[in-house]
């Protein structure tokens, strides 16, 4: 409990510091540059991609952008921090100050609704028509990022949230035959690992606990009941939700000491210190990429994967996308970046390194091997469920309320209070 509270305090101080100084994990953002020393126009691209794998993917797209646009230079305004919480806090302060970046990363779906309602984003429908993107993006994805018939972001990828990463050697040592398929099997496996003195479930910063929560909700309730939670009038006080939250509480009893972010928690699995980690498939790039951009581990030997217990047949999805803020200093440069982000070339350069699959339907499938081949297959055949933590299912005020309740629960372990808090959050924020 003390470690969680300290971590929460550090996170809040960091967010406040970023908002106050306009810098922090990327001091570049405070400069709001317009031209570099060579006279090229700088395009300020704001994201939270600073870790191994994700930073490599961004660099691959940057190279294409600068080759195709010799009069522009890419200005990396990335702010470090797992799920983007610190970046979003700084972004909000920049938007309120009238100094937006030229383009910023956001999760496609409900997360962007606040920006749209505040009038922060330009309508990109004309760009979609110009590039014929409605023909190459899945119809369901286009619908999710449309508001009243208009489109406000360009998705560069599809990620899967409901992945159980595990160390085969640690499972074998604990007498666990393979990846558990149900919540009950998962709890039994966690207990066996604990008995062997290893960390049953590695965990990162507080947002990773919400990530676990969304997966346990899905694994306990099934796709249809889970998706219904985000519709107006949903009953968050139902017995189904109670059971799911009890499962969450039980599973969290096996969590190790919280790490600073998702990468060190994932590394505990890769290094054989922990058995399981529940994280999105961006972890694949981190596990798999060579040591200069990842851990250089061997799949099926050093690490393996399966759907989170109870979620097989459902793809809990999210999508990173880029926007065009109103008032961008280099609007044309931002449009040039969006065209690269939307392109087949850009997505095929980015996604294999990032550990995600392309948003486009016409990507080069030969580039997506190992885990990514599984993801492509499942994306085309599974039921879909939207992520909570990563912006699909809930807007930012709702997510903030959920994260607050999860944070309180980590200290109190009070399931009844957690359920009431989540119910109140839904009542206040469901649209």
- pLDDT confidence band for 143 (50 / 70 / 90): confident
- pLDDT at residue 35, as a whole number: 60
pLDDT at 90 over 80: yes
- pLDDT confidence band for 16 (50 / 70 / 90): very low
302 with 417, same domain: the answer is: yes
The number of folded domains in the chain is: 2
pLDDT at 17 over 60: no
What is the per-residue pLDDT across 117-128, written as a single tens digit (0 to 9) for each?
Answer: 999 999 999 999
218 with 334, same domain: the answer is: no
CATH code where residue 184 lies: 3.40.190.10
Answer with the one of 345, 362, 381 that is the final residue of a domain. Answer: 381
Give the number of C-alpha atoms closer than 13 A to the C-alpha of residue 222, restricted to the C-beta side. Answer: 3
165 with 250, same domain: the answer is: yes
169 with 310, same domain: the answer is: yes
- pLDDT at residue 198, as a whole number: 98
Rounded mean pLDDT of the chain? 89
pLDDT at 31 over 50: no
What is the per-residue pLDDT across 367-385, written as a single tens digit (0 to 9) for each?
Answer: 999 999 999 999 888 888 9
- The residue range of the domain holding 70 is 15-157+320-381
User: Rounded mean pLDDT of 145-168?
Assistant: 93
Using alpha carbons, select from 178, 272, 258 the residue that is nearest to residue 210.
258
Read off the pTM.
0.82
401 with 373, same domain: the answer is: no
Residue 6 within any structural domain of the chain: no
DSSP state letters, 217-258: HHHHH-HHHHHHTTSTT--TTSHHHHHHHHHHHHHHTTB-SP
335 with 228, same domain: the answer is: no
298 with 328, same domain: the answer is: no
339 with 197, same domain: the answer is: no
| Contact between 207 and 261 (Cβ < 8 Å) | no
Residue 73 within any structural domain of the chain: yes
Residue 145 within any structural domain of the chain: yes
206 with 278, same domain: the answer is: yes
Eight-class DSSP state of 325 = B
User: Beta 159-160 vs 314-318: how paired, if at all?
Assistant: antiparallel
Residue 311 within any structural domain of the chain: yes
Residue 10 within any structural domain of the chain: no
Q: How many residues does the chain have?
A: 431
23 with 82, same domain: the answer is: yes
């Amino acid at each position: 409990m003390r470690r969680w509270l300290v971590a929460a305090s550090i996170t809040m101080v960091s967010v406040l510091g970023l908002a106050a100084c306009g810098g922090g994990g990327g001091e570049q953002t405070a400069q709001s540059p317009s031209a570099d020393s060579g006279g090229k126009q700088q395009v300020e691209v704001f994201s939270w991609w600073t870790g191994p794998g994700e930073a490599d993917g961004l660099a691959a797209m940057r190279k294409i952008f600068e080759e195709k646009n010799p009069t522009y230079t890419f200005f990396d305004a990335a702010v470090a921090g797992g799920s983007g919480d610190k970046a979003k806090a700084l972004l909000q302060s920049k938007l309120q100050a009238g100094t937006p970046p030229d383009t910023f990363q956001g999760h496609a779906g409900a997360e962007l609704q606040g920006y749209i309602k505040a009038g922060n984003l330009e309508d990109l429908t004309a760009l979609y028509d110009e590039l014929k993107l409605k023909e190459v993006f899945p119809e369901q994805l286009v619908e999710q990022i449309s508001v009243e018939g208009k489109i406000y972001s360009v998705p560069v990828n599809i990620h899967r949230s409901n992945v159980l990463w595990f160390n085969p050697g640690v499972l074998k040592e604990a007498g666990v035959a393979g990846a558990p398929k149900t919540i009950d099997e998962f709890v039994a496996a966690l207990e066996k690992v604990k008995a062997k003195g290893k960390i049953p479930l590695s965990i990162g910063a507080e947002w990773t606990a919400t990530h676990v929560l969304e997966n346990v909700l899905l694994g306990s309730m099934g796709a249809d009941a889970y998706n219904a939670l985000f519709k107006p009038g949903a009953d968050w006080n139902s017995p189904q939700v109670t059971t799911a939250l009890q499962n969450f509480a039980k599973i969290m009893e096996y969590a190790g000491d919280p790490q600073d972010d998702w990468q060190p928690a994932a590394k505990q699995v890769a290094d054989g210190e922990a058995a399981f980690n529940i994280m999105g498939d961006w972890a694949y790039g981190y596990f798999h990429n060579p040591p200069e951009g990842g851990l250089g581990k061997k799949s099926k030997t050093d690490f393996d994967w399966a759907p989170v217990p109870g979620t097989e047949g459902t793809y809990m999805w999210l999508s990173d996308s880029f926007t065009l803020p109103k008032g961008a200093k280099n609007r044309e440069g931002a449009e040039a970046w969006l065209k690269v982000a939307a392109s087949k070339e850009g997505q095929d350069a980015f996604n294999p390194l990032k550990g995600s699959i392309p948003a486009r339907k016409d990507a080069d499938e030969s580039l997506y091997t190992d885990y990514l081949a599984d993801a492509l297959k499942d994306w085309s055949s599974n039921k879909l469920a939207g992520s909570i933590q990563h912006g699909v299912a809930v807007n930012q005020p709702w997510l903030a309320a959920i994260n607050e309740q999860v944070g309180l629960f980590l200290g109190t372990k009070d399931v009844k209070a957690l359920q009431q808090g989540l119910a109140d959050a839904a009542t206040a924020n469901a649209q």
